[in-house]
Amino acid sequence: MTGYVLDTNILSLILRRNANLDARLKAIIRPENIIWGCPIVWYELRRGLLANDAKMQMRLFEELFATFNWDDFTRADWSLAANWWMKRRNAGLPVSDADLMIAVFAYNRDAVLVTNNAKDFQLLDVHLENWATD
């Protein structure tokens, strides 16, 4: 079994009907895989779609997220986030809270984080894939 968490930038491209990314998503939708719906990603996408009054994309977004496994953040997520934030701070690499929480969410669920911004996750012990360039 492989778990996946799709970052906001990847899902945004999928919602814009990027054929390559849509094919990659369809390729992992199998009973032996889990696609986790990260609350931060849900929030970032939903607010963007609302701001742009993107009704068709909103419908696709809701249909897509309905197929994902939903899990809320846990105390373990918040604890690891504080540790990783300190690690990045000490290295002189500030990180946004959103990116940090997405990385922690993926890590604590033993999932691959699919993103188009690997640099945002430097020094964080999360397994990354970039479907936009791979």
Query: Is residue 85 in some structural domain?
Result: yes
The token pair at 122 is: 């430097």
- The string of pLDDT tens digits covering residues 90-130 is 999 999 999 999 999 999 999 999 999 998 998 899 999 99
Query: Is residue 113 in some structural domain?
Result: yes
Q: Which domain holds residue 90?
A: 2-129
Is residue 12 a contact partner of residue 61, using CB atoms and an 8 Å limit?
no
- The string of pLDDT tens digits covering residues 19-40 is 889 899 999 999 999 999 999 9
- The string of pLDDT tens digits covering residues 50-71 is 999 999 999 999 999 999 999 9
Query: Is residue 88 in some structural domain?
Result: yes
Query: Is residue 27 in some structural domain?
Result: yes
CATH number of the domain bearing residue 110: 3.40.50.1010
First to last CA, the chain: 21
- The model's pTM is 0.93
Query: Is residue 104 in some structural domain?
Result: yes
CA dist., res. 29 & res. 31, Å (int): 7
Query: Is residue 134 in some structural domain?
Result: no
CA dist., res. 14 & res. 39, Å (int): 18
Query: Is residue 116 in some structural domain?
Result: yes
Query: Is residue 80 in some structural domain?
Result: yes
As for how many domains the chain has, the answer is 1
Is residue 5 a contact partner of residue 111, using CB atoms and an 8 Å limit?
yes
At residue 134, does pLDDT exceed 70? no
